[in-house]
Structure 1
Amino acid sequence: MAFDDEGNAYANTLDAPGGTFAFTGFNQTVAIKRPGKPWTGPITVHDNRGNPVSQQNFLDDKNWIAVDNNTDVNGGPNRPHDRKIGWMYVCWSFDGTQTPSQQIVLMRSKDGGLTWGGATPGDNTPIPVSQKAVVAGIGCHEDIGPQGELYVTWYDNSLDALMQAKSTDHGASFTPARPIAAITGVNNPFPAQSFRNLSIPTSGIDRKGHIYIAVDSANGQGGPLAPDASISKLKQLAHKHQAEMEQAGDAKVNSDVVLFKSTDGGNSYTGPIRVNQDRTGNDQFQPWLAVTPKGQLDIMYFDKRRDPQNFFIGETLSRSNDGGKTFTDVRLDRHMWDPRVNPPISVSGQFIGDYQGIAADDDVAIPFWNDTQLANLPRTDRAYSRWQEVLDARVPNDALHGGPGCRDHRPPRTTLRRSGVSAGSGGIRVAGTSSDRGCKGKTRKASIPGRVTKVYVSVAKVLGKRCSFLLSNRRFSRRRSCGKRVLLRAKGRHRWLFHSKAHLGRGTYRIVAVAIDLSGNRERPVRHRNTVVIHVR
């Protein structure tokens, strides 16, 4: 999907005659949605069906569409609602079906997407962007600078490198493609999972012309490359990375989302900066990036951080308000989901994505993706679905959701007194109070209100240096480390109450109450404040 500054939307679609298992003759079309009007029919961008040879031997894959909203087709200024639509571009991987040929190519339109061509409109001959004809790469992404300069970026999995080419004449010609950053590609299914992976980059440009590229890389590895980087050395480095991953084993390899940045028109890059801010060592992968008019970076991706087993998947949005120096993470999904639930299947294997996306301005970000979290609902729920569905989230650009403003890193404060704990034949009752201050910015939007969202209570029977914890079924767990608490939800937030009918036998018990605030801050146990020790005789 792409949008111009006149209010029109453009959907660029792959057409697979005979279905994906045919694996030949994939073509591309564009449909246009103008304000107040229905979508147009499909407009051909590139057609492999012109003759039996091309239909049998070539297919289009991993396409991306972009519109120049900075300059018009003559290179002049292009402003919102001035009735001017800039050049439009579609890049993709032009693949051979019978031989291992693969090129990054591009088509253009100068009439608002009505006709497409390479050198001339309607010629059905794409412009080559990569110089390699054999396995040049996959997953191209184009973006447009303030002066109409066009950057095309893709991943070359034979070099384990991000490649880029630049055009200053609206795509008529390109600089020689060169490697700009080395990564360790995440190109195989994760352990115990079957959906396909590939480190496809996503890019964005701010109004200053700074270029940002986000991609997933094993263990967050990677680094920028000099303009004269040797291809032979890159191949050696790629083989070395692969050997290191195989030697380390699956348990020690995880995927992180990283960011590279250029402030000199793509001549050099810095990075990588780790985008996901978790400390779990779990997988984050398949990112998509949008840059707002004021330069905020919004990056969404699949995320396993909330599953200790690193299997089930959720979605996260990471925001940066300082040009990619720091990020704040915002959870998008309501429930983690199982990628094994009825995935689409082709000759490439199982799918869970490849075509997520995000649109963002300085008021809101709208990421969209496909997952199976609706399969977690009861079958009687009207929203239940046993298939992958496309979902989105509307994330306001305020301080609470990673937007400009204050950052609340201060946890709530809970007060628990001995008089608030009673244990007897009727079970155990714990009552206390919790409060939170939030943080104050210059405006309401830049502030985070102080609000306790949840309170949890832990009841531990102290057995020497080990503990046995009260469970939700009113029984106590086996002995375990006293630091591995079992937290049970209390009722209420500011004034709260926890009650269990569990019988407490003789012994010493440590009761801990902790609160969580709007920003996700969780307080720690503190003696004589939110921790009470009782003796049952």
Structure 2
Amino acid sequence: MHRRTWTSAGVGLLVIVIAAILVAPNAGVLRFDSSRLPPLAFDPATRLVEMMNAGNAAGPALAASASVVRVGPNVQVFDNRRPQNEIAAAANPADARNLLIGSNDYRIRGTVWAGVYTSTDAARSWTAQLVPGYPGGPQGTLSEFQAGGDPIVGFASDGTAYAGGIFFKASPSGGGVKDVSIALSRSDDGGLTWNDAVIVAPGKGNSPFNDHPQMAVDTTGGSFDGHVYISWTRFGGEGQIDIYVAVSADRGATWSATKVSGPIPHGDAEGFYQDSMAAIGPGGLVYIVWDEWFHDNGNVPRTKIWMTSSNDGGATFAPSWIVDDDVIPIHLPNASYRHDSYPTAAVDTSGGAHDGRIYLAWSDDRNGNADILLKSSDDGGASWSSIVRVNDDVGTAGQFMQWIVVGSDGRADVSFYDRRDDPNDYLLNEYMARSTDGGASFLNVRVSDVSSDPAVWPTFIGDYNQIAATSRASYPAWSDFRNGVPGNFNQDAYTAAVFV
């Protein structure tokens, strides 16, 4: 991973390159060789380049801990030979059978869009759709855009569903990528049908360039119940890379946005912010976490994790503060795909012994290999517990792409990719770790029953896989490559119930 400051010159050239790949033939799947690019300064368009470049070994038996935590059958969410990656997940608090999954969905020949898949039978079966406005579909707000991705999904406490992502213009005749915007669609029937999308954060040309949104909906039953929050990185020009948060109090109809990040600290060379997300605590307290990529004074890549909070429904946010300044960025051997520490957070709103506890999980190389680390706070992020290693393997295999959720019973479940089952530290499996003691210890269980070979699309597997929780089970969702062969890009969205 190259971490450099962003320049408008870099964006300009990469916009031209992305325009070229939109017309590259490969059975309708986009591809791009990043080695053709000169060593330019970092810019956000590189992530869209990889996202748009559409690209099995059977694994060993499930780990022994599977006898303690019961895992249901692996379920393929969408049967399509074109890729689905970057998997989002959400569960309806009003109906434990109603689930949403989102992905970068390449089913439309020659482009990518935000896919959304709905289950009304606790993940046994799924209906596959696209966020409205997709190319070739009914006209709507997003019809001016040619591509989309970075899926986000969520539910309100009354069962209102949301799905969206980023959407951008990309002309096959050479106009290039521009107007990268964030939009969200609402469903009033649990995701069976979707309303026309609303623009949350408009892009304009190459600046602002809106990237990596994540969303959370307040389901706490308090004064701000139903508020929808979306955080993202806003590239506003050279040296203007900030974390923004937008909030809607009217079911996504209108939005107000606030910059929540401060200046990059002095001495953090070539620093920039990325990878934000929102989490909701008791009483509607909102927490936003993100990371900062930079080089220290020895020119060594480093990462910090930042945080802010709001106690007034997102009207104002506290000055941001650092919650970990010693993250060692992960570097996986045998991995040409992008990988990242990516902090994720969740808050206990169960009303139980750990009510209000904030959990923070990320991937870190400080132990000499990529591990999932976690710590918690009981005072709104002012102080933190000792760090706990979530994965329980013996050896140096890599774990990464983690996501955390807290169930209504107070259990903390962390999902992640894990390479422990391959002695070559290469093939991927989806794992989940469960804590029932407030994050003091974790029981690991393998979720995927077939290993995935990243060679299916060796340079891109997405940036996140999420997990959703109901009172009955948690549902890790991941991009799975069992149905592909090296180079054919057949990545599929999968999930499985991990029962309580």
TM-score, normalized by length of structure 2? 0.62
Q: 1:363 aligns to what?
A: 472
Q: What is the correspondence of 1:425-444 to structure 2 with a 5 Å cutoff?
A: none
| SS of alignment partner, residue 440 of structure 2 | coil
Does residue 362 of structure 2 align to residue 215 of structure 1? yes
Q: What is the correspondence of 1:404-419 to structure 2 with a 5 Å cutoff?
A: none
* Structure 2 CA distance for aligned equivalents of residues 316 and 63 of structure 1: 24
Q: 1:401 aligns to what?
A: none
Which one-letter code corresponds to 1:130 in the other structure?
Answer: S
Aligned CA distance change for structure 1 residues 274 and 19 (closer, same or farther; 3 Å): farther
Q: 1:144 aligns to what?
A: 280
The structure having more radius of gyration, on CA atoms, is 1
Q: 2:219 aligns to what?
A: 69
Aligned CA distance change for structure 1 residues 342 and 376 (closer, same or farther; 3 Å): closer
Q: 1:273 aligns to what?
A: 388
Q: 2:328 aligns to what?
A: 185
Q: 1:534 aligns to what?
A: none
Does residue 493 of structure 2 align to residue 341 of structure 1? no
Q: How far 1:271 sits from its partner (Å)? A: 2.5
1:258·1:275 contact (CA, 8 Å) conserved in 2?
yes
Q: How far 1:265 sits from its partner (Å)? A: 1.6
Which one-letter code corresponds to 2:200 in the other structure?
Answer: V
Q: How far 1:370 sits from its partner (Å)? A: 0.9
* Structure 2 CA distance for aligned equivalents of residues 18 and 62 of structure 1: 18
Q: How far 1:9 sits from its partner (Å)? A: 1.6
Does residue 436 of structure 2 align to residue 289 of structure 1? no
1:100·1:135 contact (CA, 8 Å) conserved in 2?
no
Q: How far 1:135 sits from its partner (Å)? A: 4.0
1:157·1:185 contact (CA, 8 Å) conserved in 2?
no
Q: Deviations over 1:283-319 (max 9, x none)?
A: 0001001100111011100100001111111110111
Q: 2:124 aligns to what?
A: none
1:181·1:269 contact (CA, 8 Å) conserved in 2?
no
| SS of alignment partner, residue 18 of structure 1 | strand
* Structure 1 CA distance for aligned equivalents of residues 306 and 272 of structure 2: 9
Within the candidate set 254, 260, 272, 1:129 is matched to 260
Q: How far 1:353 sits from its partner (Å)? A: 2.2
Q: How far 1:183 sits from its partner (Å)? A: 3.6
Aligned CA distance change for structure 1 residues 88 and 296 (closer, same or farther; 3 Å): same
Which one-letter code corresponds to 2:263 in the other structure?
Answer: K
Does residue 154 of structure 2 align to residue 2 of structure 1? yes
| SS of alignment partner, residue 185 of structure 2 | strand
Within the candidate set 182, 187, 192, 1:33 is matched to 187
RMSD (Å), alpha carbons: 2.2
* Structure 2 CA distance for aligned equivalents of residues 351 and 143 of structure 1: 27
| SS of alignment partner, residue 130 of structure 1 | coil
Does residue 492 of structure 2 align to residue 389 of structure 1? yes
Q: 2:289 aligns to what?
A: 153
* Structure 1 CA distance for aligned equivalents of residues 326 and 402 of structure 2: 15
* Structure 2 CA distance for aligned equivalents of residues 257 and 168 of structure 1: 29
* Structure 2 CA distance for aligned equivalents of residues 5 and 32 of structure 1: 14
Q: 1:260 aligns to what?
A: 375
Q: 1:117 aligns to what?
A: 256
* Structure 2 CA distance for aligned equivalents of residues 337 and 164 of structure 1: 34
Q: How far 1:19 sits from its partner (Å)? A: 7.7
Question: Which has the bigger relative contact order, CA under 8 A and spacing at least 6?
Answer: 2
Q: How far 1:91 sits from its partner (Å)? A: 0.4
TM-score, normalized by length of structure 1? 0.58
Q: How far 1:373 sits from its partner (Å)? A: 1.5
* Structure 1 CA distance for aligned equivalents of residues 412 and 423 of structure 2: 28
* Structure 2 CA distance for aligned equivalents of residues 185 and 60 of structure 1: 26
Within the candidate set 346, 371, 393, 1:204 is matched to 346
2:371·2:400 contact (CA, 8 Å) conserved in 1?
yes
1:130·1:177 contact (CA, 8 Å) conserved in 2?
yes
Q: 2:199 aligns to what?
A: 44
Which one-letter code corresponds to 1:95 in the other structure?
Answer: F
2:330·2:365 contact (CA, 8 Å) conserved in 1?
no
Aligned CA distance change for structure 1 residues 391 and 22 (closer, same or farther; 3 Å): farther
* Structure 1 CA distance for aligned equivalents of residues 483 and 395 of structure 2: 26
Q: What is the correspondence of 1:229-240 to structure 2 with a 5 Å cutoff?
A: none
| SS of alignment partner, residue 271 of structure 1 | coil
2:401·2:464 contact (CA, 8 Å) conserved in 1?
no
Q: What is the correspondence of 1:356-505 to structure 2 with a 5 Å cutoff?
A: 356-375=465-484, 386-397=489-500
After TM superposition, where is structure 1 displaced by more than 3 Å over at least 4 residues in a row? 19-24, 133-136
2:330·2:370 contact (CA, 8 Å) conserved in 1?
no
Within the candidate set 285, 296, 317, 1:174 is matched to 317
Q: How far 1:23 sits from its partner (Å)? A: 5.0
Q: 2:228 aligns to what?
A: 88
Q: How far 1:267 sits from its partner (Å)? A: 1.1
Aligned CA distance change for structure 1 residues 71 and 315 (closer, same or farther; 3 Å): same
Aligned CA distance change for structure 1 residues 391 and 150 (closer, same or farther; 3 Å): same
Q: 2:113 aligns to what?
A: none
* Structure 2 CA distance for aligned equivalents of residues 132 and 200 of structure 1: 20
Q: Deviations over 1:8-31 (max 9, x none)?
A: 221131112218994543111111
Q: How far 1:144 sits from its partner (Å)? A: 1.2
Aligned CA distance change for structure 1 residues 183 and 306 (closer, same or farther; 3 Å): farther
Which one-letter code corresponds to 2:472 in the other structure?
Answer: D
Aligned CA distance change for structure 1 residues 310 and 219 (closer, same or farther; 3 Å): farther
Within the candidate set 339, 343, 353, 2:462 is matched to 353
* Structure 2 CA distance for aligned equivalents of residues 373 and 360 of structure 1: 25
Which one-letter code corresponds to 2:181 in the other structure?
Answer: N
Q: 1:18 aligns to what?
A: 170
2:157·2:226 contact (CA, 8 Å) conserved in 1?
no
Q: 1:482 aligns to what?
A: none
Within the candidate set 322, 336, 348, 2:437 is matched to 322
Alignment: residue pair count: 327
* Structure 2 CA distance for aligned equivalents of residues 19 and 145 of structure 1: 43
Which one-letter code corresponds to 2:209 in the other structure?
Answer: L
- Equivalent pairs: percent with the same residue? 29
2:402·2:464 contact (CA, 8 Å) conserved in 1?
no
- Stretches of structure 2 that go unaligned for 5 or more consecutive residues are 1-152, 265-269, 295-301, 350-354
